Amino acid sequence: MYAGLKEYFLVLGWDASTVQEAGLQGAKDSEVVEYAKKNDLLLVTQDSKSAELADLLDVRYVLISNAVIAKVAVEKITERYPDLTAKKG
């Protein structure tokens, strides 16, 4: 999974491990996806190629892109500070 999120998943009660912990650091995307499939894991990734391979192999995955992060950040900003608005242009 995306290593930067592991601690947050653990705090929220999820069992989580990283590619490094699985001994797959530097492995090909297909090897990581196959590992997730073999071990019935959900893959959390920022890599679109891994997500596409997971989709092809029917492996559960979540693609965390910068666009997704930005959308969540904007939602939280708007929720917490409704008086703030984005400046256009």
The yes-or-no verdict on residue 80 having pLDDT over 80 is: yes
| Nearest CA-CA partner of 1 in 67, 61, 59 | 61
What confidence tens digit (pLDDT) does each residue in 26-70 have? 999 999 999 999 999 999 998 999 999 999 999 999 998 888 889
Alpha-carbon distance 70 to 35, whole Å? 30
The answer to whether residue 18 scores a pLDDT higher than 70 is yes
What per-residue confidence (pLDDT) applies to 51? 96
Residue 20's contacts (CB-CB under 8 Å, 6 or more residues apart) are 3
pLDDT at 9 over 80: yes
Which pLDDT belongs to residue 89?
Answer: 62
